[in-house]
Chain A
Amino acid sequence: MEPRLGEFEQLVMLALVRLGDDAYGVAVQREIAGRTGRSTGFATVYTTLARLEGKGLVASRLGDPTPERGGRRKKYFVLLAAGRRAVRESLRTLRTMTRGLDASWGAP
């Protein structure tokens, strides 16, 4: 049984799914902001990612320095197998709960 995801954790995990190999702080933050309209601070994004890493759902590695970042390296995140399962699990839970709801609820 994978650990359950909080709401923001779900968003971050889904962003990682979408971004694939290119998931680092700015990209994750922009992905969430662009799709949901939620602007979140980097601190929140990093806290969440650190927590997910602690739960063994994601892993991180350091990339190459770029001039745009003042010569600093990016920290890339990728989903681990346990992470993938956790995302699927929480999406299924969500679908189970929404199935059969009236269209006025905006169910998929």
Chain B
Amino acid sequence: MSDPRSPAPSPPPAPPALAVWLLSRLLPDELREPFLGDLEESFHHELRRGRGPAAAGWWYWRETLRAPLTLSRAAGHPASSAPRGDGPMTSLLIDLHFAFRLLARRPAFTALVTLTLALGIGATTAIFSAVYPILFAPLPFPHPERLVMVWERDQKGTPDNFGFATYRDVVDANRSFDALAAMGHSEVTMTGRAEPERLEGQKVSSTFFRTLGVAPALGREFRATEDVPGAERVTILSHGLWRSRFGGDSSLVGRQIALDGIPYTVIGVMPASFENVLDPKAQLWTPLRYDLLLAWACRTCRHLRVVGRLKAGVSVTDAERELGVLSRRIVADHPKEYEGVGMLVPTLHEQVTGGVKPALLAVLGAVALVLLIACANVTNLLLARAAQREGEFSVRAALGAGHVRVIRQLLTESLVLAAIGGVLGIGVAWLGVQALVALSPPGLPRIGAIGVNGPVLVFAVLITTTVGLAFGVAPALHATRGDLYHGLMRTSRRLTGSRRVTRASLVVSEVALAMVLLVGSGLLLRSMTRLFAVSPGFDPSHLLTMEVVTGGPRFTSDTATHAYFQRVLEAAGAVPGVETAALTSQLPLTNDYDAYGVHSEARPRANTEQDPSAHRYAVSGRYLETMRIPVLRGRGLTDRDRGDGLAVLLINQAFARREWPGTDPIGQRVRLGDATQGPWRTIVGIVGDVKQVSLSADQPNAIYVPEEQWPWADFEMSLVVRTRGDPAALVPALRRAVWSVDRDQPIVRVSTMERLVTGSAAERRFTLVLFESFAAVALIMAAAGIYGVLAGTVVERRPEIGVRAALGATRANILMLVVRQGLGLTTIGIVLGLAGAAAMARIATSLLFGISPVDLFTYVGVTVLLVVVALAACWIPAWRAARLDPMATLRTD
């Protein structure tokens, strides 16, 4: 429909549709049309005056929000025939409007409440966002509930890796699985572009991606024909590697890249969304290329992990039962190649998250306590304010506002406060998530999935609403309880009895909750101190370590590798400031893990698979001296223990005690790895125990063999140097020394030994830092709660204090009066908190180290701390009470 007399303009901006809709709902019938018409006319007028559409829209909204309030106020006017705005929407808008105005009038109160809430909601949301993907969200694969890990079972019933032959038996015979895949970790050096880069990857069976249910974004997945020895070498790249190293070039598929100097054809690139929970650091995949004839495909060559996808309808128990039967048959056929019977089938989700579950649940619990304390604090503030507003409520009631109406107004105020707190809280959560990710220990699974996203926002909204209702209820009920008429008669500052009880119990619970958190962080702190008091078995000061890797066609022979490491050792030893230098095949307190079966000549077991296993350290001559690991009996290793000399080894003390109790192991002979072949090696010394996996783990068995006497050359060795000065200062010089031997060999993992020791407790430290910050916040909030209640009572008891003072009470008496009240509440809180803490600590024992969950020192220390803080919080109100002028107080009442 166009007007023929004027050119058709582009449609002008219209008033905000939502506001128009709202108004047409809110306005009474007789006013709707002219009012909306006026608004629209003025809206266009505003636009013509040169206001932007946004400014005009804003103006429209302002008019919309003002309208119901003004109109309904007029509705109360007796002489008015004006509209009566009493629909539910109108009164909600009025409540909102009123709430905003009240809050704006008391900026300090509003700021205090919203910031407290923002802190509580923000911290809870941040922790939830970290915990959600790990503990609650399904893994990012199709039908993730059907994904499981499969493990062999050792003597003790703990999971063990698969040998390839066993894996093939399971693949051929099972009826429970749609697909199974074996995988091993690999590290390769990519050359041929820029400088050599060390990459982590996975060697996997061709079924790997099909098992997980993901497909490459570009190219294709592996074929079975590529997963056999001698097949053409192919690789699939991660999205990240493809982007960072190849600039996201899609023509890369089909081309060749050099890994360890050997050409591989890139056949695919995984999508960016592929989250490899099985090996988060892997950047590329290559086929396993095993068959049963390979030496390392044997049953006892247990170095493969197995993941499987259950058939639809097959439960984990079904699968475990079937594999149990299968395992019994396999063990019967090969009795000497298995430790135990049966297989373990945990779900992939359990596998990925099991390790961090207790710590995360503890942290989630802790932050929930912080939120509870924040709510208690806010409720307290609102109650105090409700006391001041008693007069207002009475007036409203006198003017005809029903109880329900007043309660609704108060709840609206609480919800508005909670909403502001929630919005700020999401900001806090966002910051918190950044901090969490930055602080997170290296072992935290699914770290890429942590963030403020949909489920987290839903959580934040839910928690904000719940919190708003929770802390709004008490003041609302109090405000309307009993007789509003008497509220008018009373002076507004007096607290009613029931409100006083509520406030007191809120403070008591704040103190109790804070106590639980303080005890928790106290116990964790003590555990940490205990942990670092544990000697790692060597002297970590002044030690610098770096892992040196050989790779490429130059190192095809052991002689070349040995020669290379020998020259690296010499070059490192010649760096000024280096006292001694040594090489070791595995370094304590890193993720290095390399264990071999130890078979005794004198006491052979029927099933050699049940012989003990021990960490193997292939070391150069001065390793013990450099690390300062003591030789307890016999001798250490020297440069004379060469490849052609007597085959020797050292064992650690724990191993000696466990395997040779009451006898002297020195002079005994053992075989390593294979019980049936290889040289017999003579034990020539016993050395001190060294922590390998972590400071908190038990002493493992360990053997030390001269590097040159091992049947093959390790291609990765850790260089350890003891320095005279600051070890970190020598990093550049040592790098130069290593690269002076061969510029093309990457150096990875450069660190001082002290950093490695500290880092080995990163997960513990993470939990501790979180608990400490929560406990600090809880302590401050509890102190604020005590202060608030006492300040309130001092005002309220002013006349009584005046009388006491007039009757001869000294300032000290009055001071004590107030302090006693504060400490009374604190004491009840502490007693409840202690009981709660003891109960909690028992549940969380797995997080403690070296102390009892009812560690006396912690409980006493925390109690003293809380009492001191409570005293400080009592002091200001008490002092104020003591300085009251008795005459003045008596006169005012």
**Are both chains from one complex?**
yes
Is the CB–CB distance between B41 and A46 below 8 Å?
Answer: no
Q: Does A68 touch B at the CB level, under 8 Å?
A: yes
The verdict on B37 contacting chain A, using a C-beta distance below 8 Å, is yes
Q: Does A50 contact B (CB under 8 A)?
A: yes
Q: A41-B63, A74-B34 are in contact. Are A54 and B40 (CB under 8 A)?
A: no
Contact A47 B34 (CB under 8 A): no
Beyond A72-B40, A73-B37, is A43–B79 a contact (Cβ under 8 Å)? no
Q: Are the CB atoms of B63 and A42 closer together than 8 Å?
A: yes
Q: What is the 8 Å Cβ interface bit string for chain B, positions 63-90, against chain A (1 contact, 0 not)?
A: 1001111110110010111110000000
Q: Which bucket holds chain B's interface residue count?
A: 20 to 34
Query: Please, which residue of chain B has its CB at the minimum distance from the CB of A75?
Result: B34
> Which residues of B are found within 8 Å of A51, using beta-carbon distances?
74, 77, 79-80, 82
The reply to whether B36 and A25 contact each other, CB–CB distance below 8 Å, is: no
Q: Please tell me if the beta carbons of A46 and B66 are within 8 angstroms of each other in the complex.
A: no
Q: Is the CB of B66 within 8 A of A41?
A: yes
Tell me, yes or no, whether A107 is within 8 Å of chain B by CB. Answer: no
**B3-46: which have CB < 8 Å to A?**
31, 33-42, 44-45
A55 with B70, Cβ < 8 A, contacts A42-B38, A69-B37 known: no
Interchain CA distance A25-B42 in the complex, whole Å: 10
Main SS at interface, chain B: helix
Q: What count of chain A residues pass the 8 Å CB interface test?
A: 24
List CB contacts (< 8 Å) of A43-59 with chain B: 43-44, 46-47, 50-51, 53-55
CB–CB A25/B38 < 8 A: yes
Residue from the list A24, A42, A68 in contact with B67, Cβ < 8 A: A42
Residue in contact with B34 in the complex, picked from A25, A43, A54, CB distance below 8 Å:
A25
Let me know if A47 and B40 touch, CB within 8 A: no
Contacting pair A26 B63 (CB below 8 A): no
Contact A26 B80 (CB under 8 A): no
B42 proximity list for chain A (CB < 8 A)? 26, 29, 42
State whether the Cβ of A70 lies closer than 8 Å to any Cβ in chain B. Answer: yes
| Cβ–Cβ contact B63 & A54, under 8 A | no
Contact, CB under 8 Å: A69 / B81 = no
Residues of A within 8 A of B44 (CB): 68
Taking a contact as CB atoms under 8 Å apart, the answer to whether A47 and B38 are in contact is no
Q: Residue A50 contacts which of B39, B66, B80 (CB distance < 8 angstroms)?
A: B80
Rounded to whole angstroms, the CA-CA distance of A69 and B63 in the bound complex is 16
Chain B residues in 8 Å Cβ range of A68: 40-41, 44
**A53 partner residues in chain B, CB cutoff 8 A:** 81
Q: Please determine whether A72 and B34 come into contact, CB atoms closer than 8 angstroms.
A: yes
A62 on interface, CB distance cutoff 8 Å: yes
Bound-state Cα–Cα, A65 to B256, Å: 76
Task: Judge whether B63 and A43 touch: CB under 8 Å.
Answer: yes
CA of A5 to CA of B40, assembled, Å: 30
A90 to B35, CA, bound (A): 29
Q: In the complex, what residues of B have CB within 8 A of residue A72's CB? A: 33-34, 36-37, 40
Look across to chain A and name the residue whose beta carbon is closest to the beta carbon of B3: A67
Taking a contact as CB atoms under 8 Å apart, the answer to whether B81 and A54 are in contact is yes
B39 lies within 8 A of A42 (CB): yes
Q: In the complex, which residues of chain A have a beta carbon less than 8 angstroms from the beta carbon of B79?
A: 51, 54-55
Q: CA of A53 to CA of B42 in the docked complex: distance in angstroms? A: 23
Closest partner residue, chain A, to B33 (CB atom): A72
**What are 21 inter-chain pairs, A to B, with CB distance below 8 A?**
A24-B38, A29-B38, A41-B70, A42-B35, A42-B42, A42-B67, A43-B63, A46-B31, A46-B82, A47-B71, A47-B82, A54-B79, A54-B82, A68-B40, A69-B37, A69-B38, A69-B40, A69-B41, A73-B33, A74-B37, A75-B33
Residues of chain B touching chain A, judged by Cβ–Cβ distance below 8 Å, are: 31, 33-42, 44-45, 62-63, 66-71, 73-74, 77, 79-83
Q: Which residues of A contact B (CB under 8 A)?
A: 24-26, 29, 41-44, 46-47, 50-51, 53-55, 62, 66, 68-70, 72-75
List 18 extra interface pairs beyond A42-B38, A43-B69, CB under 8 A.
A25-B34, A25-B35, A29-B42, A41-B62, A43-B70, A44-B66, A46-B71, A47-B71, A47-B74, A47-B80, A50-B82, A51-B77, A53-B81, A62-B33, A69-B40, A72-B37, A73-B33, A74-B37
Q: Sort A-B residue pairs by CB-CB distance and give the 8 closest, nearest first.
A: A72-B37, A75-B34, A69-B37, A43-B70, A25-B38, A50-B82, A47-B74, A43-B67
